[in-house]
Structure 1
Amino acid sequence: MLPNRMNLTKTTEENLKKLKGYTGITPNVSARIAFFRSIETDFRYNGQEAKLDGSLVLDKFTWLGETSDITELVLKMYYPELDSKQHQQAWAAHVEDGVASIRNHKSISNFSQTI
């Protein structure tokens, strides 16, 4: 369902890299956390296409890891009418929304206490 190669917006990617600098959590793992933090809220992708211009282009399994199946199922459940490219846009929008709640943590202990 999701394409094999995916990327995020440059701003989201920069936030994930800053978070890695503070906590040591890699961008792909923090993107998974951000996605599910966003899903827990009332945020829903409204179909507005964003420019996915980040330079960190990773394969789907690297981005999603063991959460791959559940991530795709959640996207399919929330957005059954979208195609593969639009599902990537929805995933990126959820990561962008979720990273806003985790980007300012300055240590791994502070980060782990809030999630």
Structure 2
Amino acid sequence: MLPNRFALTQQTEEKLKREKLRTGVSPNILARELFFRSIEKGLVSEPNNEITFGKMVLEKTVWLGELEKITEEMLKHYYGQLEKNRAARIWALHVQSAI
């Protein structure tokens, strides 16, 4: 469902980099935790305007790690079958909404 490579929003990326400096926890680990925290809160809506993605583009296996299948199943459960780019956008918006 998700593409093999995708990015966070620029705003999220900057915050996760600051958190890494503060805590030593890598952005991909923080993103996993934030995604599920956001899922607990509920669905996110896509903004009408374009969102800006950051420069940190990682492989799906790096972003999601051992939670890859679970993450994709959660997206399918809440949003139905999505095209790859839209699934990545919603994933990034979930991570952003939990910060």
TM-score, structure 1 as length reference: 0.80
Superposed, 1:2-21 pairs within 5 Å as: 2-21=2-21
Distance 2:2 2:60 in 1: 7
Tell me, yes or no, if the aligned pair for 1:7 and 1:52 is still in contact at 8 Å. Answer: no
- After TM superposition, what 4+ stretches of structure 1 lie above 6 angstroms from structure 2? none
| Alignment root-mean-square deviation, CA | 1.3
Tell me, yes or no, if the aligned pair for 1:35 and 1:94 is still in contact at 8 Å. Answer: yes
Q: Secondary structure at the match of 2:25?
A: coil
Comparing both structures, which one devotes a greater share of its residues to strand?
Answer: 2
Tell me, yes or no, if the aligned pair for 2:7 and 2:54 is still in contact at 8 Å. Answer: yes
Sequence identity of aligned pairs in percent? 46
Tell me, yes or no, if the aligned pair for 2:28 and 2:64 is still in contact at 8 Å. Answer: yes
TM-score, structure 2 as length reference: 0.92
- After superposition, give the CA deviation of every residue in 1:4-51 in whole Å (9 maximum; x if it has no partner): 001011110000011101110000000000001101112x12233642
Gaps of 5+ in 2: none
Please state how far the C-alpha of 1:53 moved relative to its aligned partner.
2.1
Partner of 2:57: 57
Q: Secondary structure at the match of 1:47?
A: coil
Gaps of 5+ in 1: 101-115
Distance 2:46 2:14 in 1: 23
Distance 2:85 2:34 in 1: 20
Within the alignment, does 1:67 sit opposite 2:67 as a pair? yes
Partner of 1:48: 47
